Chain A
C-alpha cells in the first residue's frame, strides 16, 4: 500500500488511532488513502473497527490520535454538519414525521436553498432512484427497498463529493440486495462521487468495490481490488475471510523463489507458492480455493504432488457440485466443481486422489 501522498488523494487517514475506554485501541494505526471517485469498501467482522473508522470520517467520533484529511484539509475539528459528507445509515434513518419529499428537501433547506431550486433538486434526486411518484408518502408507507432508495437519494441530493454507507443493504432480502448493489455502484460511478462503504458481507464487497480494505483487530489486513484480494490473499485471515477456503497446516521443507515444498502435519508433501513464509522450518497455513482443487489427474502438471482423499459428502447445488472430502487429517476439505456434462459426480466413500497447480496453493502465516 502506497503511503506517499498523490495529487488525486481525496480522503486520507494518517496514523489514526481510536480508543473508547482508554485501555484498548479499537483502531490501531490506520493509514488509508482514497482517491477521488473511488468506491472503497471496508470489510471485516464485527468489532474490527470498520464502523468506527466510518464514524470518525463522518465526524460522529473523534480520533484519539492521528489526522483525517478531506481534500487535503484536516477535518478533525470540523463538526459533522460542516463536513458536507452524505451518509446512508443502516436503518436508513428517514425522518418518520416528514414526507419523502420533505426528507429530501431537509439538507437543501438547512443550506438555505430557495424553494424552486429545492423542488427541482428533490425531483431530480427522486427520479434518479426511480421513486418520482413517491414524494408525498411517509417513510412508513414504503417497503424496505423503497426506503433504501430514498435514503440513498437523500444522501446524494445535496451533491456531496463523498458518500458514506454503513451496511445500507443489511435489512433487505437477497434478491433486492443484489439489485440495490448494482444500483448503488451504477449511481456512484455515474455521479463520480467517492464512496466509502462498510459491510461485513464479502460478496457485496467483492461485487461493488473498486478496492476493498479488509479490517481485523483494528488494522487493515489488506487493501486491494477484489480480484487481487480473492486470488492473492496476503495472510491467512484474509484468505479465510474472503470467499471459501481450504486450509492445511504444515511446516516449510524447501523454499526457492516462487516455489515452496510444505510437509503437512500428516507427513504428505505438497507444492505451494510462498506468500509470507520465508525460511525452512517455519510453520504455515496453506490455503487452496475449493474451485482450484483438481480431481482429474490429467489436467495437472507432471510431477505434481497428489494427496489421497476419501469422499465424505456430495452436495448438488445446481450450477456447482460441492464435495466434502477428508484429506490429510482435514475432514472439512471442500471441492467445488462446475456442473458440466463431462464432470464426475463423486460418491461418498469413494477413494480419490487430488492435486492442484502450485500457484493456486498459497503458503501463508500460521
Chain B
C-alpha cells in the first residue's frame, strides 16, 4: 500500500506498464469479439436501411438539376434582379438557348420542367413545348456567316483541334465550356465529337465569344479572321425566338422561379411541406387552395393521439385482468391478444371495411333492430371514425403487451397493503397501483403513437378523404407524382416530429421510466 501511495504518477501494473494501458489491452480483444458478433447485422442495416434512407432524406434539400442543366443561364441570371418586372436581357436568353439545346439533346429539359413545375405550375409544359422548337431557332444565321468565312468551320475535326488548343480555349471560354458539355454527351453516347456534325448552338456560342471581343489577339488565323468579321454579322434576336416559341418566356415570374431555385441546395421542398413557398420577396404562404400539408400533419397527430388514448382505455383493463389471472388462464388469453399478429394486416383492415360499411354487418344489424333507419345508415368508414376504429384494433396488442409485462411485476400485496391501511378500492388502485403501472402506459403509448403516426395501409384503405394520414401523401409523392424531394421533406418532418415528441417525453416522464417488462 505504502508503495502505491508514495507514487505520484499513474498506477502501474505488475510489469511496469501503466495500469490503464494494460487494462485497455486486456479489454481490446473482448471489444473486438463483440464487434465481430454484431458486424453482420450492422453492415446489413447500414446497406439496406440507413444508407437508402439517408439518401432519400437528402433528396429533400438537393436541387442540383437546375444548375446542372442550365449552368450558363444560372451564371447569366446572377446579374438579373429577381424583383424585376422586365424579362432578362438577351445575354440570358442566349445562354438559355445553348443550355436548352444541350438539354433537349439529352432529354433533360422535361425532367427540369417537372422539377420546376413543383414550384410554379405550367413550367413543365412550357419546357416541353420549347424543347420541341429550340432546335429550329434561326441561329443558323450565325452558322452560315461563319462557314462563309472559311468552309473548314464546317468540319468537326477543325473544332476538335481548336478545342484541344489551350490558347484558343482561353480566347473562347463559352465555346470551350459548351464544346466540353457537347463532347461529354457524345462520348457517353459512344459517338466521336470529331466526326459529328457541328450544331448551330456551337456556332452561336462561338459568335457570342467573338462578339464579346475575347478573341482579338488570338494566334489562330481562322479565329482571328472570324473575330474581325464578327462585328459586321447579321444578328438573331434569341429572346424573340423564345417569345415566338412561347410568350410565357417574357413573363418575369418564370425567370424568378428559375433564379430562386438555381442553387444546389434548396429549402423549397421543406417550405412546400409546411404550406409555404419562396416568392421574389422571400418566404410567403401558399395560396389557400394549395394548403394541405399542415392540416394533414395536424390531423395525423390528432388522430394518433386519439388512437393512443383509445388503446390505453381499452388495453388497460385487459392487461390488468391478464396480470391478475393465474398464469395458465393468462397464457391462454394472451394467445387471443396475440391472435391478430398472425393475421395479415390487410385482412384485418378489410374485415373492418366489411363490418363498418353502409351495407355492412353493423349497419345491417342496427337496421334490423330498428335502431337506425334504413335510409339513414351510419357512415362509419372512409372517414376519421373508420380509421380510428380500425387502427385502434390493429395497434391494441402493442399497448397490452408492455402494460401486461409491467403489471405482472407489481405484487398484489401492494393493493392489499393499501386496503389494510384504510384505502377504498378506488384509492388503492389510483394512489398505489396506477402510479406503478405508468411506465407500462408510457412504453405502450410511445409504441402505439409512433406506429400510428407513420401508418399507411389502414388509412389508405379505410380512411377515405378525411381519414388519411400524412404518410398517404408521402406515398403519393413517392409513387405517383414522383416528387421525391417533397416526399422526402414530408418524411423528414415526420421523423423530426417523432424525435421531438420522444425528447419531450423524455423530459417529462423520463425515458428510463419506460419498461417493456
A60 in contact with B418 given A81-B424, A91-B411, A106-B431 (CB within 8 Å): no
Does B411 contact A158, Cβ atoms closer than 8 Å? no
Does B421 contact A106, Cβ atoms closer than 8 Å? yes
A84 close to B (CB within 8 Å): yes
Interface readout for A150-168 with B: 1 if CB under 8 Å, 0 if not? Answer: 0000110010000010000
Does B435 contact A158, Cβ atoms closer than 8 Å? no
Does A107 contact B422, Cβ atoms closer than 8 Å? yes
Q: How far is the CA of A231 from the CA of B432 in the complex (A)?
A: 47
Does B422 contact A87, Cβ atoms closer than 8 Å? no
B505 close to A (CB within 8 Å): no
B423 close to A (CB within 8 Å): yes
Does A89 contact B422, Cβ atoms closer than 8 Å? no
B413 close to A (CB within 8 Å): yes
Interface readout for B400-437 with A: 1 if CB under 8 Å, 0 if not? Answer: 00000000000101101111111111011001100110
Q: How far is the CA of A76 from the CA of B423 in the complex (A)?
A: 18
Does B416 contact A89, Cβ atoms closer than 8 Å? yes
- Which of A60, A83, A110, A154 has the most chain B CB within a 10 Å cutoff? A110
Interface residue tally for chain B (C-beta within 8 Å): 19
Shortest distance between the CB of A212 and any CB in chain B (Å) = 24
For B432, the chain A residues whose CB sits under 8 A away are 95
Q: How far is the CA of A154 from the CA of B421 in the complex (A)?
A: 8
Does A93 contact B435, Cβ atoms closer than 8 Å? no
Which of A80, A97, A107, A158 contacts B416, CB < 8 Å? A80
For B435, the chain A residues whose CB sits under 8 A away are 97
Does B423 contact A81, Cβ atoms closer than 8 Å? yes
Shortest distance between the CB of A198 and any CB in chain B (Å) = 14
Does B419 contact A97, Cβ atoms closer than 8 Å? no
A101 close to B (CB within 8 Å): no
Does A87 contact B436, Cβ atoms closer than 8 Å? no
Q: Which of A86-100 contact B (CB under 8 A)?
A: 86-87, 89-91, 93, 95-97
Q: How far is the CA of A60 from the CA of B418 in the complex (A)?
A: 12
Residue on A with the closest CB to B415? A93
Shortest distance between the CB of A98 and any CB in chain B (Å) = 8
Does B411 contact A93, Cβ atoms closer than 8 Å? yes
A93 in contact with B416 given A81-B422, A107-B422, A158-B422 (CB within 8 Å): yes
Q: How far is the CA of A189 from the CA of B234 in the complex (A)?
A: 124
Q: How far is the CA of A90 from the CA of B414 in the complex (A)?
A: 11
A85 close to B (CB within 8 Å): yes
- Which of B411, B417, B418, B436 has the most chain A CB within a 10 Å cutoff? B417
A87 in contact with B427 given A95-B432, A96-B436, A97-B435 (CB within 8 Å): no
For A91, the chain B residues whose CB sits under 8 A away are 411, 413
Residue on A with the closest CB to B424? A81
Does A95 contact B423, Cβ atoms closer than 8 Å? no
A89 in contact with B421 given A96-B436, A97-B435 (CB within 8 Å): no
Residue on A with the closest CB to B436? A97
Which of A81, A90, A154 contacts B419, CB < 8 Å? A81
A63 close to B (CB within 8 Å): no
Q: How far is the CA of A60 from the CA of B424 in the complex (A)?
A: 13
Q: How far is the CA of A180 from the CA of B432 in the complex (A)?
A: 27
Does B422 contact A93, Cβ atoms closer than 8 Å? no
A111 close to B (CB within 8 Å): yes
A335 close to B (CB within 8 Å): no
A110 in contact with B423 given A89-B413, A95-B414 (CB within 8 Å): yes
Residue on B with the closest CB to A93? B417
Q: How far is the CA of A69 from the CA of B421 in the complex (A)?
A: 19
- Which of B411, B413, B422, B428 has the most chain A CB within a 10 Å cutoff? B422
Does B411 contact A110, Cβ atoms closer than 8 Å? no
A275 close to B (CB within 8 Å): no
For B420, the chain A residues whose CB sits under 8 A away are 58-59, 80-81, 83, 85-87, 155, 164
Instruction: List, sorted by A's number, 15 A–B pairs whose CB atoms are closer than 8 Å.
Output: A59-B419, A59-B420, A80-B416, A80-B420, A81-B419, A85-B420, A86-B421, A93-B416, A95-B417, A95-B418, A97-B436, A106-B418, A107-B422, A107-B423, A110-B427
Known: A85-B420, A106-B418, A158-B421. 6 other contacts (CB 8 A): A58-B416, A86-B420, A95-B432, A107-B422, A110-B424, A111-B422
